Structure 1
């Protein structure tokens, strides 16, 4: 299995290098990407773009050599050295120019992060494994198509996952899909949390304890016909939680109730009911 893994590494590194070269050589935003990178601090404003283009040429040449069999040991060694150089550059950029952009796999402005460093480390490891290859990647993939394809897909997926500049391609769409499927602003009853908050803020109970509140909604849960909404608060010098009980079926703000609970002891310090008595669960009353 190690032979298959090693043989596929030149293909992985070659694809990543050519993709990176495409950004530096063919993107209409390459000049802007170079000016946002740490190359400006390292080499100066006037040398940043030529160095950026030169790096793209090196990546394109080496990537093409890695993709075209046979893969020579010198090519794998050069790929490893280039990945280690990338790792050193990114570490420098993160320390010396934390607001600079990576400019690696996309012209989009993306600060250097731990994921960028991990990606460079992954490519360095891939280059090192390529040194162990005894045959070309076409032979390895043809002889073990399932294993070779799986290694290729997993590694390229890891590169994409470790590339913040590519988040808009896969991560943001996934987050939007999750939001559409889970409806994060809805509770278990299907009533939007925003509707509950609006009802709550119109209530007399809320107005009376509003000066005590120190946070927005911190937690909420549904129980029967009621939704309970918690806010961090401070009362008589104590850290407390203001727990509002809001009826789900009745939109009348006057039925909102609130209890102020001591965070340290769990004691209810204050209990306020609405103008009309509520038929829902009672909150325990303790003297102030």
Structure 2
């Protein structure tokens, strides 16, 4: 299996290099991407774009050599050296110019992050494995199409997942889909959480404990006709949770109750009731 993986690495590295070169050589936003990158700080504003273009030329040349048979050991060695240089450059950019953009796989402004460094590390490992290749990737794929396809799919998925500049392609649509499916601003009752927060913030119970609060809404859940909303707080030097009970069937703020619960022991240290009938919920709960 290791032979198959090693043999496919020139295809992976070559594809990534050509994709990266596309941004530097043919993107209409290449100049802006170069000026936002750490190259402007490293080489100067005037030299940033020529260096960016030159790097793109090196990438497309080396990428094409890796994709076209035969794959020579010198090509794999050059790819590994280039990946190491990328890793060093990204480490420099993150330390010396933290607001600079990566400019790697997209012209979108994306600051250098741990994901970019991990992707460069992955390319270093892929280049090192390519040095062990004993045959061509096309032959390996033809001989073991299922296993080879699975290896390529996993590696390319890893490259995409470690590329913040590509989040708009897959991650943001997934987040929008999750928001549509889960309705994060609604509880099980269908009452928007925002409406609950507005109701409790207008209540006397909230005003009386507001000086204790140290966070926004940390958790919320519904139980019967009540919604419980938890805030991190500090009371008499203790870390506590302020648990508000907000009636779902009564929009008036007077019905809001609050209990201050010790995070360590789960004991209720303070309980304030509104003017709603006395058959409301018990608030001596342990925070999740």
Same fold (TM over 0.5): yes
> How is 1:19-34 mapped onto 2 (pairs within 5 angstroms)?
19-34=19-34
* Matched residue SS, 1:217: strand
* Matched residue SS, 2:222: strand
Report deviation, 1:85.
1.1
Report deviation, 1:236.
5.2
**Equivalent-residue separation in structure 1 for 2:104 and 2:238 (angstroms):** 51
Q: TM-score, normalised by structure 1?
A: 0.91
**Equivalent-residue separation in structure 1 for 2:238 and 2:121 (angstroms):** 49
Report deviation, 1:239.
4.6
* Matched residue SS, 1:134: coil
Report deviation, 1:143.
0.8
- Cα pair distance change 1:126/1:265, threshold 3 Å: closer
**Equivalent-residue separation in structure 2 for 1:257 and 1:88 (angstroms):** 56
Aligned residue in 1 for 2:133: 133
Q: Would you say 1:50 and 2:57 are equivalent positions? A: no
Given that 1:225 and 1:280 are in contact with CA atoms closer than 8 Å, whether structure 2 keeps it comes out as: no
- Cα pair distance change 1:92/1:214, threshold 3 Å: closer
* Matched residue SS, 1:280: coil
Given that 2:62 and 2:75 are in contact with CA atoms closer than 8 Å, whether structure 1 keeps it comes out as: yes
- Cα pair distance change 1:107/1:261, threshold 3 Å: same
**Equivalent-residue separation in structure 1 for 2:95 and 2:213 (angstroms):** 40
Q: Which moved more, 1:35-44 or 1:7-16?
A: 35-44
Q: Would you say 1:120 and 2:130 are equivalent positions? A: no
Given that 1:255 and 1:278 are in contact with CA atoms closer than 8 Å, whether structure 2 keeps it comes out as: no
Aligned residue in 2 for 1:276: 276
Q: Give ranges in structure 2 of 5+ residues lacking alignment.
A: none
Q: Which moved more, 1:205-214 or 1:192-201?
A: 205-214
**Equivalent-residue separation in structure 2 for 1:181 and 1:97 (angstroms):** 39
**Equivalent-residue separation in structure 1 for 2:90 and 2:195 (angstroms):** 47
Given that 1:98 and 1:112 are in contact with CA atoms closer than 8 Å, whether structure 2 keeps it comes out as: yes
Aligned residue in 2 for 1:261: 261
CA offset digits 1:214-262 (Å, max 9, x no partner):
3322222222221112223344565543322111223232222222334
* Matched residue SS, 1:241: strand
Aligned residues: 284
Aligned residue in 2 for 1:63: 63
Aligned CA RMSD, in angstroms, stands at 1.9
